[in-house]
Chain A
Amino acid sequence: MICQECHQRPAAFHFTKIVNGEKTEVNLCEVCAQEKGEILMFNGQSGFDFNNLLAGLLKIDPTFQKPSQSPFQQEELLHCENCSMTFPQFLKLGRFGCSHCYDTFKDQLQPVLRRLHSGNWTHNGKIPKRIGGDLHLRKQLEELKEGLQKCISLEEFETAAKIRDEIRSIEKKLTSGYEGGK
């Protein structure tokens, strides 16, 4: 079949367009099909979409690993406990099932994120005020407690006392924050 637009190249795309019950057959070659972008617009995505690309990205990975690790078997077994999404399922859909998936598939995820976001794999932007405020304080608290242990073991009691006061004030903030939130 020859393309109906240019009448030169062979038709590679065959569309049946039904607009308000009126059926139109369209046979186009690749070049003309691209020009007639209108056809693809409301009938969803073009044939080659993100999922295919993502799946491609992920499937490349195992070849770089040692064959003794048998990565396929491991991935097959791995599934999210919250939504029971498996890794092959994620590959097919290109989308996660729930927020827990990010933790479940963290080992597989890192190389993917690096490729998708030009080498980046940690968040560097906005932190939500409510959940985030807490996060900051808790992180700080952990660090201070570590510091306190260190000071005690080194018998630096003056600094230890200062740190202890800081820890108390943060703990106070955290508890009052929780009450305020609820």
Chain B
Amino acid sequence: MSLEHFLNQAVSSWMSEEGPDSDIVLTTRIRLARNFEQYKFPTLFSHQEAQQVISEMEQLLQNSGLQKFGQMELLKIEDMQPLQKRVLVEKHLISPQLAEDSPYGAVLLTENEEISIMINEEDHIRIQCLFPGLQLTEALQAANEIDDWLESHIQYAFDEKYGYLTSCPTNVGTGIRASVMMHLPGLILTQQMNRIIPAINQLGLVVRGIYGEGSEALGNIFQISNQITLGKSEEDICRDLIGVVSQLISQERSAREALRKTSNIQLEDRVFRSLGVLTNSRIIESKEAARCLSDVRLGIDMGYIQNMSKSILNELMILTQPGFLQQYAGGQLRPHERDIRRAALIRERLKMEFNKL
């Protein structure tokens, strides 16, 4: 398979398109957790109930009302190859939990991959909207529209006092998880991040690495999301998150300016060394790749590197994950083979950029 063809298939719109503040905010995500009233939660439900949930969703898929959100496809976990599942996890379209621990799981995906509805994960339904850049209000609106449409056909588990009932009490109430993925190399280089993270935690928000819980901040990418779901409205939750994110954006911008003033040549050197590594290496580990990609992206944003697509960080961070590399190779790879493949893929992708000139 040629790289261009592979890219056309693999790159979702949120990876290649640019949104507001996309020099710092890579993506915005809204997730709503919902459950059917009449079935037991996936923690305890029977095989039969799980099938009923899926077949109810399949029936809704036939309904033309759902088409207005885009062409949708239903994929069942049991029908998927391990590699296919892993690729969807790496693209943030399904959770690791759905891929690994949900035997009756399924996912409804739109063609542009902006909307995904996970079925039978921890809750019966999890609506997810993934937008490029900082677009919390837009993503919330999109998720609400789908939610409203589903609610007109499904009897949700809802309680006057507790709101939307979820399997885990940490999600009860609004069932919302709003998260923003940010590239913060300036705050890392100026060593401010260690000070900032505890402050964010005190505001009821959580900071995580690119692949959620327990993952490290590869490539200076951080995910910031709300933790509290009960007692605040969806709008307030998003407003609080926007408040913190805007603060971080302005602090990151001033950190970059400070770096330009105090260590211009050192920064430029770092950026071009990393570009050199990416254009020339024959073996590269994911950690080193992530670090260099972050430097190159910073170089593009700060104008050191010109005529290169900004989306290169978003794209290559995802495409150099083990699942994608193996899909591109068309089969399974050993760890050291992956490092060779990764280096080759990055070199080829960069060549496409240089050929554009």
Residues of A within 8 A of B (CB): 19-20, 22, 24, 34-35, 37-38, 40-42, 44-46, 50, 54, 82-83, 85, 93-99, 102-103, 109, 112-113, 116-132, 135, 139
**A123 lies within 8 A of B162 (CB):** yes
- Shortest beta-carbon distance from A23 to chain B in Å: 11
Asked whether B231 lies within 8 Å of A124 as measured between CB atoms, the reply is yes
The A-B contact count (CB < 8 A) is: 151
Inter-subunit contact B332/A40 (CB<8 Å): no
Q: Is the CB of B152 within 8 A of A129?
A: yes
- For the complex, would chain B's binding face be called helix, strand, loop or mixed by DSSP majority? loop
Whether A117 and B215, one on each chain, are in contact in the complex, defined by CB atoms closer than 8 angstroms, is: no
Nearest first, the 10 A-B pairs at minimum CB distance are A120-B231, A123-B163, A99-B157, A37-B216, A125-B174, A117-B230, A97-B44, A125-B233, A98-B40, A95-B43
Determine how close the nearest CB of chain A comes to the CB of B101; give it in whole angstroms: 8
Total B residues in contact with A, Cβ cutoff 8 Å: 58
Q: State how many angstroms separate the Cβ of B182 from the closest Cβ of chain A.
A: 18
CB within 8 Å of A: which B204-244 residues? 204, 209, 211, 213-216, 228-234, 237
Interface centre among B96, B172, B333 (most CB of A within 10 A): B172
Report whether B214 and A45 are in contact in the complex, using a CB–CB cutoff of 8 Å.
yes
B334 neighbours in A (Cβ, 8 Å): 19-20, 22
Roughly how many angstroms separate A37 CA and B218 CA in the complex, as a whole number? 10
7 more contacts with CB within 8 A, not counting A40-B214, A45-B214, A126-B234, are A19-B335, A116-B230, A117-B229, A124-B173, A125-B163, A128-B151, A135-B160
Chain A residues whose C-beta falls within 8 Å of the C-beta of B214 in the assembled complex? 37, 40-41, 45-46
B327 to chain A, nearest CB (A): 14
Contact A109 B160 (CB under 8 A): no
- A47 → chain B closest CB, angstroms: 10
- Which residues in A have their C-beta under 8 angstroms from that of B86? 42
**B20 in the interface (beta carbon within 8 A):** no
User: Do A128 and B158 contact each other (CB < 8 Å), given the known contacts A98-B40, A120-B230?
Assistant: yes
